Structure 1
């Protein structure tokens, strides 16, 4: 039986995590014009995170910094993309890479779109480095919500390496891909989705090359307001910011 590795989320207060986190199921998209065929998206059956669930996502003693999901609040002096970029320059990775900014309207089930055709790709893993299975857990994505609206980070509760071990016999030489996630869901393997609220001035660090994710502006507080994000990819240690939860 394949061992599934859940998201490793840094938190100090279980109640604070539960206050901003829901859990739900996923579905595959077929024939919907705004989505890539086969995309995995939220099913919409959100419910509060059960009281015993935060323990499942607590980091273990062997959790690497590169495998950790962290939530933080920006310092009060950091208010726009320029001041955030200056802060990121000080975080310890001189080779970090700036990713494209995103400006998303409210009410979006998922926000990430393919640049070549504008279709929503749904839950996915980042493949900026196209790393093979053995080297997959390295960089993390740092993303901040510059507002003015709130949004959600969507996180699968199973990582792509566990998924690859389920859907491929020779996973050791495979380069994990979003298609593996879609195959996993098509095979009706169990997958849950966490939805974590990210308000303006807040951000997150997550291993998005390993942990399937997307973002959403649906159901966020401040309905009717667009939300702008700025993101970077780099190798950073833990506890760079004061924790949000």
Structure 2
């Protein structure tokens, strides 16, 4: 299994804002897709040696890296943020728009086809096949506040999932349904929860690594804005 590759400089900083839990498959949860995969809520801190498991390897591509960042002090509104994003190296990033999420949501993302919450899922804007999956654009998301929120990440990528649930995975186009089947087969899966405060953001390979966001336990709503693009590592200063 290939875990999330998270860029961090200090394991203690990662542990201070990251927890882990198991997952459950929701078959009749109101407002959610049938069989949506959600954290089971039994959050635990990372063990002392756990951060090293998520450290990027020498073969980790920029497109496969999870990075947390804090916005520069000069970025104080959406116009300035958009200008910043267009200067990061991809001349034509794809705008995914804004979302405003109420507090107390275990997962936030909505399935546009059903209007229901997706649970852990993979982005399929490019709908790339298994062999080309790592070439997908990364997602950049910024929390504009006023509340904090969480980035949820599966500890297993969708290609590993596909190798488990399909005999002929080489020609398959990975999808969220593969993750749901994997969980239904009771294969091992855990989710990481990384706190993202107002003015902070993340880059992640969301076409490869199942993810969602959460406002669970927060007292205020939060607004996010997101793009897809091809950005090198370290284009924004590291947060951890």
Residues 222-237 of structure 1 aligned to structure 2 (within 5 Å): 223=219, 225-237=220-232
TM-score by length of 1: 0.96
Residue 48 of structure 2 corresponds to residue 51 of structure 1: yes
Partner of 1:216: 214
Q: Indicate the structure with greater strand content.
A: 2
Q: Could you give the per-residue CA deviations for residues 169-194 of structure 1, whole angstroms, max 9, x where no partner exists?
A: 11010000000000000000000100
Partner of 2:8: 11
Tell me the distance in 2 between the aligned counterparts of 1:81 and 1:107: 25
Unaligned 5+ runs, structure 2: none
Shift in Å, 1:79: 2.1
Task: Tell me, yes or no, if the aligned pair for 1:79 and 1:146 is still in contact at 8 Å.
Answer: no
Shift in Å, 1:83: 1.3
Tell me the distance in 2 between the aligned counterparts of 1:87 and 1:117: 33
Residues 125-136 of structure 1 aligned to structure 2 (within 5 Å): 125-136=122-133
Partner of 2:236: 241
Shift in Å, 1:117: 3.1
Residues 1-245 of structure 1 aligned to structure 2 (within 5 Å): 4-138=1-135, 139-220=137-218, 223=219, 225-245=220-240
Shift in Å, 1:95: 2.1
Task: Tell me, yes or no, if the aligned pair for 2:159 and 2:208 is still in contact at 8 Å.
Answer: yes
Task: Tell me, yes or no, if the aligned pair for 1:146 and 1:228 is still in contact at 8 Å.
Answer: yes
Tell me the distance in 1 between the aligned counterparts of 2:114 and 2:205: 26
Tell me the distance in 1 between the aligned counterparts of 2:52 and 2:168: 32
Instruction: Give secondary structure in 2 for the equivalent of 1:100.
Output: strand
Task: Tell me, yes or no, if the aligned pair for 1:21 and 1:49 is still in contact at 8 Å.
Answer: yes
Unaligned 5+ runs, structure 1: none
Tell me the distance in 1 between the aligned counterparts of 2:77 and 2:159: 35
Task: Tell me, yes or no, if the aligned pair for 2:86 and 2:92 is still in contact at 8 Å.
Answer: no
Tell me the distance in 2 between the aligned counterparts of 1:236 and 1:101: 20
Tell me the distance in 2 between the aligned counterparts of 1:43 and 1:134: 31
Q: Which moved more, 1:148-157 or 1:115-124?
A: 115-124
Q: Which moved more, 1:79-88 or 1:104-113?
A: 79-88
Give me the CA root mean square deviation: 0.8
Tell me the distance in 2 between the aligned counterparts of 1:44 and 1:174: 32
Tell me the distance in 2 between the aligned counterparts of 1:104 and 1:60: 34
For these two proteins, the number of residue pairs brought into alignment is: 239
Task: Tell me, yes or no, if the aligned pair for 2:25 and 2:183 is still in contact at 8 Å.
Answer: yes
Q: Could you give the per-residue CA deviations for residues 140-165 of structure 1, whole angstroms, max 9, x where no partner exists?
A: 00000000000000000000000000
TM-score by length of 2: 0.98
Instruction: Give secondary structure in 1 for the equivalent of 2:32.
Output: coil
Shift in Å, 1:241: 1.1
